[in-house]
Amino acid sequence: MSLRRAIRAEGLGNFLKLGYAMATSQKVAPAPKPENEALRAARVNDSGLIGRDVSRQFEIFAEIAKTILGCETGMVNLLDGACQYTIGAAGRGYDPLLGVPQELTFCQYALLSPEPFIVPDTSLDERFADSALTKPPLNCAFYAGFPLNTPDGVVLGTLCGTHSTPLSPGDEQIRMMAKLATTAASQIQLMIEQSELTASRIGTMLAKFRQFAPDGTLDELMGFLDFCARGTAPAEVMEMLAGDSIIAKEAGSWRLTRDGTDLRATLGLAPETYRGSEQTTAPQGQGVDDLLGKLG
């Protein structure tokens, strides 16, 4: 862990408080390793997301999680077997390139099951009660971690929330969080698929792309992949995609056309997480369920 990065992320005052808490507290009871830990850790390390700042794609998930749970902090975390990396957060400062030892986290326990791991009151749980997690500056009295599951049952990390007083989320909150975690996991899976593109696969994809856009270029293909992942691409590429009838404007937002949807399926991409380039903040009066609908 880089000392300078840690101080910058936490602020000097909080960094000193955290150091004191760690020095005077019991360690978090270590969680058992998942049965597929070697595969799980390899998937995370091979994802291409560790060591990259992808916070722009994931802060929205943390913000919505914070809203759903009514808690102070929301986070999207990846755990690679050694460290936990926060790739998106709301309610606290963080450094997406800074790893925290996995054995110091709540989220290590959320890796053990595809179901949510919820601790309504950490003071009543002997695994965490006297740990640094429950003391200033973190003050985590509540934790809820929702696994980021791949289609084949590998837990890459968590979508989680923490609060400084105990909370007991209801069934509807848990349902909405599980749905949001599934959407976040799909976004991660899509980004992994993009990072795994090889030169030969790009060539194959370009040939398939040209079935829909006969004069399509590599830049246009990569722009289409960007659009599927983030709902946007460089302006000149957006115009090229529109000219090939792959995307079109609808109610002021760019969206895939029928050809675009067929192209996405032909390329073997996961369904896009963002359906258009509209802002992912809810208009006044719009419920969180509607916002979740936009995210998947």
The secondary structure of 126-141, three-state, reads CCCCCEHHHCCCCCCC
Q: Which pTM value belongs to this model?
A: 0.64
Both 261 and 121 in one domain: the answer is: no
Both 255 and 215 in one domain: the answer is: yes
Q: Evaluate whether residue 191 is within a structural domain.
A: no
Both 160 and 203 in one domain: the answer is: no
Q: What is the pLDDT of residues 32-50, one digit of tens each?
A: 999 999 999 999 988 889 9
Both 68 and 215 in one domain: the answer is: no
Residue ranges in the chain whose pLDDT is less than 50: 1, 6-7, 15-18, 20-21, 272-288, 291, 294-296
Q: Evaluate whether residue 35 is within a structural domain.
A: yes
Q: What is the CATH number of the domain that holds 121?
A: 3.30.450.40
Both 226 and 277 in one domain: the answer is: yes
Both 128 and 65 in one domain: the answer is: yes
- Tell me how far apart the alpha carbons of residues 38 and 28 are, in angstroms, rounded to a whole number: 22
Q: Where are the alpha helices (DSSP H) in 166-213?
A: 171-195, 199-209
Domain boundaries, position 210: 197-294
Beta strands in the chain (DSSP E): 73-79, 83-90, 99-101, 117-119, 142-149, 155-163, 247-250, 253-256
Q: Evaluate whether residue 213 is within a structural domain.
A: yes
Both 159 and 204 in one domain: the answer is: no
Both 144 and 201 in one domain: the answer is: no
What pLDDT is stored for residue 96 in this prediction? 84
Both 61 and 150 in one domain: the answer is: yes
Task: Answer yes or no: are the C-beta atoms of 63 and 74 closer than 8 Å.
Answer: yes
Both 83 and 152 in one domain: the answer is: yes
What pLDDT is stored for residue 20 in this prediction? 35
Q: What is the pLDDT of residues 167-209, one digit of tens each?
A: 999 999 999 999 999 999 999 988 887 766 655 778 888 999 9
Both 157 and 222 in one domain: the answer is: no
